[in-house]
Structure 1
Amino acid sequence: MLIAWIQIISGLVLLIYGADRFVTGAAQTARILGVSPLIIGLTIVGMATSAPEILVGSVAALDGKTGIAIGNAIGSNIANISLVLGGAVLFRPFLIDSKMLIREYLIMMAIFLLALIVLLDYHLDRLDAMILLVALAGFLFWTVYQARHPKQKDPYLTEISEHIPDSKIRPRVCLLLLIGGLLVLIAGAEVLVRGSVTFAQSMG
């Protein structure tokens, strides 16, 4: 049991550290390549911050621990909405004055409904995976299009643009952060999955 807890805590620490370096490396590399701050904030940072969940799910699936993979995907979304959002609002109430953000909430609900539909038969296959990935690609395309062709100035887009500064890191350092962060993420995912399996086995 003690070993399981050490693995779980160590895995979480590695994931947090690796994710921070990976997100910084990805965002700054894209900035150096000339990608606009808005696109970086809407897509690259959003995808990069999901890297821990993606890697934990991938490692678990490769190890045949499908329950951990599915539980990680669903549980992380529940935690992001209820724990992260709820905890943030406790410190400071939010005023949602962005039409684009409201539309994203509706899309999020549609994605949840789509995930529920593909899980109704208690079986996930490559066709289900393609459906979910196509939905993701469609969302990313819509997001980029809305950002580049806004019907009116949206405070949400302005805030994102201001959040991604010009890169002050050398390209070589950005690449090291990107690769190093990814390697730490992979190691953290592996350790966390092993710890979770050990903990589950010890609990019977």
Structure 2
Amino acid sequence: MAYILLVVGFVLLIKGADFFVEGSSNIARLLRVPSILIGLTIVAFGTSSPEATVSIIAALEGSSDVSLGNVVGSNIFNLTLVVGIAAIIFPLKVETETIVKEIPFTLLASGALLILISDVFLQGEERNLLTRSDGLIFLLFLSVFLYYVFEVALKNRNKTKNEPIPVNVKWPKNIVVTVLGLVGIVIGGEMVVSNGTEIAYSLGMSETLVGLTIIAVGTSLPELVTSITAALKKESEIALGNIVGSNIFNILFVLGSASVISPLVVNTKVFTDIFVMIILTVLLMIFSRTKFRVGKIEGSVLVILYILYMIFIILRN
């Protein structure tokens, strides 16, 4: 029964995120918010909302391994399988802004995470913790990133201010769709955490492993669907921008919010996974600098790396 409820939870999460992005994007259009700003904030937040919900609920229930593992696992899944499959479908063009500012910002966020959880090594504490003050630091970093996003939006305002609003975009419908999306995300998140941990225990899996695998993959499905759809439409800038933006939101917003609500105890195994996440981010930057695109060969390498990583963490458990 837990397996069925887990699948139902994922469906609610994914459809909820889809409804939330659609409804809130249309509301933003009705308010004449530039489309570039919608893409960099609402879509990035919307595709990260399953991770946020699962991690916050897990933190409240004391499952900090699920909370942290979910974010790190989702980011690794995004950097390898999502980018890889999208690049194999259609080579991803990389914007200069992504290479110069957004990928380095992802590295900064990842580095900050590594430092803030290294309490035993850096301060001689008895255990590693992501505390409320650490969470507030993440949220301050997020405000810097959002400032950058608004700056980008202002530069592009003249291109988008005269965009026509489709006749079928109405206030009542989109308010209902947005609220339904949020309800689906919250209920689905609760079902995923409770049933995912139950399955983990029944199979002898650790909470860290279930967070890095089952839950991480499930909550990253919106990014996978968004990026593959963008690649099929040959809108490759959206595909890569969505991943990088989502990874930044995952660390700064998701872990920041979760640790502010309830401090997270850090499993020492996660350090290896964070190092893997940082190495993969550097690799993506290197791939992006080759002719400003991620091609089919690079995409295939990333998919193979994800398969090898999955084998490693399953054997490690």
Q: Please classify the TM superposition score into its range, dividing by the shorter chain length.
A: 0.7 to 0.9
Question: Deviation of residue 140 (structure 1)?
Answer: 0.9
Question: Deviation of residue 125 (structure 1)?
Answer: 0.7
Count of paired positions: 190
Indicate the residue corresponding to 1:155 in structure 2. none
Q: Is the 8 A contact 1:26 1:178 kept in 2?
A: yes
Indicate the residue corresponding to 2:186 in structure 1. 186
Question: Deviation of residue 112 (structure 1)?
Answer: 0.8
Q: Is the 8 A contact 1:37 1:165 kept in 2?
A: no
Question: Deviation of residue 15 (structure 1)?
Answer: 0.8
Q: 2-side partners of 1:100 and 1:166: how far apart?
A: 28
Q: Is the 8 A contact 2:34 2:153 kept in 1?
A: no
Answering whether residue 149 of structure 2 is matched by residue 143 of structure 1, we say: yes
Question: Deviation of residue 149 (structure 1)?
Answer: 3.4
Indicate the residue corresponding to 2:165 in structure 1. 166
Q: 2-side partners of 1:106 and 1:201: how far apart?
A: 38
3-state SS of 1:87 partner: helix
RMSD over aligned CA atoms reads 1.7
Say which of 102, 117, 122 aligns to 2:115: 117
Q: Which has the higher contact order (CA 8 A, sep 6+)?
A: 1
Per-residue CA distance 1:17-65 (angstroms, 9 max, x = gap):
1111011011111111121111111112211221111001111111111
Indicate the residue corresponding to 2:283 in structure 1. none
Task: Give the residue type in structure 2 aligned to 1:190.
Answer: E
Q: Is the 8 A contact 2:2 2:198 kept in 1?
A: yes
Answering whether residue 138 of structure 2 is matched by residue 132 of structure 1, we say: yes
Q: 2-side partners of 1:146 and 1:178: how far apart?
A: 25
Q: 1-side partners of 2:118 and 2:165: how far apart?
A: 46
Indicate the residue corresponding to 1:154 in structure 2. none
Give the alignment's TM-score, normalised by structure 1: 0.87
Question: Deviation of residue 165 (structure 1)?
Answer: 7.4
Indicate the residue corresponding to 1:153 in structure 2. none
Within-5 A mapping of 1:24-173: 24-96=22-94, 98-102=95-99, 103-121=101-119, 122-149=128-155, 166-167=165-166, 168-173=168-173
Question: Deviation of residue 4 (structure 1)?
Answer: 2.4
Question: Once the two structures are aligned, what percentage of the paired residues are identical?
Answer: 35
Q: Is the 8 A contact 2:18 2:46 kept in 1?
A: no
| Structure 2 spans left out of the alignment, 5+ residues | 120-127, 205-317
Task: Give the residue type in structure 1 aligned to 2:165.
Answer: D
